């Protein structure tokens, strides 16, 4: 390619680095190709032809998010091959809450300087997240923005589009008192609350590689553990049982996210002893002097996803989730009332 600009490079933008990045990420994007993908990278838009066979009224469901200040941990550790999984997870886990299967994903990487090898690592994680969720990476954008971002930093965001037949969409209106709340275990902090995490641990190059016995790994490794992608396990539960609603436990923890799936007149009664609180949360609560309420109002506490299921189907749903490779457990039940009650 003969496209280059010495003047633009002098201003801090190296277009040739962008071309090199594209070449390096092609093999990762190829891993995500599924039926329906109609274009390769390089065009002005990603093309996808959905399979509408057997669908009476297809509904598109979209979700968008970023990784947030968890990226600061990646910068400290100079490890960039997992945050892409987080980016995909934050989007597709939202999409599946409607009962939809993610179809495709697009990313946006903004950086102070384009280091092609680092962009490749980021995209390798994005591709892995797409493979885990069964969707295709059909496009993206890498923007080199000198003077806006420091040279060694970047931001990462994306969005996903999924589809579900209207008759198979989850219907919270069918929820009733007595329905069982099922939790699916998280892998750690996931990608929320990292401004508080960083404050509690006062993260720096001095302590990021400190081994913590309770975690069985370094602090940085624990914090960079990728967000769980629940698409396959959630869809398996929906296929096997009468799942009425799903909540992705992200920023705002239990208090903000679980009520989002409830219909008026119902309260989620959660048994705190049923929550498989992970060691990282116990450490943060003690070290930061954080109240129990604030912990449950900020973090997932070990529960990455919660679903309301007909009480007669609770075991079927848990069996399907466990068979899909995740860990499910009874978290509580729905009762008459409003909001959420932790008891």
Instruction: Residue 115: give its domain's CATH number.
Output: 3.30.1330.10
- Report, as an integer, the average pLDDT of 291-309: 98
Q: Place 330 in a pLDDT band, splitting at 50, 70 and 90.
A: very high
**Is the pLDDT confidence value at 239 over 80?**
yes
Q: Place 7 in a pLDDT band, splitting at 50, 70 and 90.
A: low
Examine the fold and report which residue of 168, 192, 209 is the final residue of a domain before the chain moves on: 168
What pLDDT digit, counting tens, does each position of 250-277 carry?
Answer: 999 999 999 999 999 999 999 999 999 9
**Is the pLDDT confidence value at 12 over 80?**
no
Do 268 and 212 belong to one domain?
A: yes
Q: Place 19 in a pLDDT band, splitting at 50, 70 and 90.
A: confident
Residue 248, in any domain of the structure: yes
**Is the pLDDT confidence value at 1 over 60?**
no
Number of domains observed in the structure of the chain: 2
What pLDDT digit, counting tens, does each position of 162-196 carry?
Answer: 999 999 999 889 999 999 999 999 999 999 999 99
Residue 1, in any domain of the structure: no
**Is the pLDDT confidence value at 2 over 70?**
no
Rounded CA gap, 202 and 59, in Å? Answer: 45
Do 10 and 151 belong to one domain?
A: yes
Examine the fold and report which residue of 168, 189, 224 is the final residue of a domain before the chain moves on: 168
Do 143 and 194 belong to one domain?
A: no
**Is the pLDDT confidence value at 30 over 90?**
yes
Do 65 and 186 belong to one domain?
A: no
**Is the pLDDT confidence value at 316 over 90?**
yes
Do 74 and 188 belong to one domain?
A: no
Question: How confident is the model at residue 327, as a pLDDT?
Answer: 98
Do 245 and 112 belong to one domain?
A: no
Instruction: Report the chain's C-alpha Rg in angstroms.
Output: 21
The CATH number of whichever domain residue 337 belongs to comes to: 3.90.650.10
* Domain boundaries, position 314: 172-342
Question: How confident is the model at residue 43, as a pLDDT?
Answer: 80
- Report, as an integer, the average pLDDT of 276-301: 97
Question: How confident is the model at residue 114, as a pLDDT?
Answer: 96
Do 117 and 64 belong to one domain?
A: yes
**Is the pLDDT confidence value at 11 over 70?**
no
Which residue in this structure is represented by tokens 């919660």? 306
What pLDDT digit, counting tens, does each position of 36-71 carry?
Answer: 999 877 788 999 999 999 999 999 999 999 999 999
Do 52 and 27 belong to one domain?
A: yes
Question: How confident is the model at residue 105, as a pLDDT?
Answer: 98
Do 191 and 323 belong to one domain?
A: yes
**Is the pLDDT confidence value at 148 over 60?**
yes
Question: How confident is the model at residue 14, as a pLDDT?
Answer: 73
Do 163 and 178 belong to one domain?
A: no
Picking from 187, 155, 147, 158, the residue whose alpha carbon sits closest to that of residue 70 is 155
What pLDDT digit, counting tens, does each position of 65-94 carry?
Answer: 999 999 999 999 999 999 999 999 999 999
């Amino acid at each position: 390619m003969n496209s280059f600009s010495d003047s633009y490079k002098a201003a801090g933008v190296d277009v040739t680095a962008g071309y090199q990045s594209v070449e390096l990420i092609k093999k990762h994007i190829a891993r995500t190709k599924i039926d329906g993908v109609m274009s390769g990278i390089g065009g002005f838009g990603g093309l996808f032809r959905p399979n509408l066979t057997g669908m009476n009224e297809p509904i598109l469901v979209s979700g968008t998010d970023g990784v947030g200040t968890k990226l600061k941990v990646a910068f400290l550790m100079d490890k960039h091959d997992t945050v892409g999984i987080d980016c995909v997870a934050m989007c597709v886990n939202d999409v599946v809450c409607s009962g939809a299967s993610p179809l495709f994903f697009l990313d946006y990487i903004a950086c102070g300087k384009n280091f092609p090898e680092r962009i490749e690592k980021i995209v390798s994680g994005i591709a892995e997240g797409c493979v885990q969720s069964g969707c295709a990476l059909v496009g993206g954008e890498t923007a080199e923005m000198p003077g806006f971002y420091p040279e060694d930093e970047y931001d990462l965001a994306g969005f996903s589009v999924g589809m579900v037949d209207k008759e198979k969409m989850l219907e919270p209106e069918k929820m009733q008192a007595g329905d069982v709340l099922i939790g699916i275990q998280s892998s750690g902090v996931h990608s929320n609350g990292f401004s508080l995490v960083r404050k509690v641990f006062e993260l720096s190059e001095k302590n990021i590689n400190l081994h913590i016995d309770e975690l069985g790994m370094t602090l940085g490794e624990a914090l960079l553990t990728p967000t769980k992608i629940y698409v396959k396990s959630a869809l398996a539960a929906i296929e096997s049982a009468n799942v009425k609603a799903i909540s992705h436990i992200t920023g705002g923890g239990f208090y903000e996210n679980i009520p989002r799936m409830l219909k008026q007149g119902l309260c989620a009664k959660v048994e705190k002893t049923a929550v498989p609180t992970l060691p990282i949360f116990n450490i943060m609560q003690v070290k930061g002097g954080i109240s129990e309420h604030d912990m449950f109002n900020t973090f997932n506490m070990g529960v990455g996803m919660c679903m309301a299921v007909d009480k007669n189907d609770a075991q079927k749903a848990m069996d399907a989730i466990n068979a899909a490779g995740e860990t499910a457990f009874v978290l509580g039940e729905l009762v008459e009332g409003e909001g959420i009650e932790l008891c």
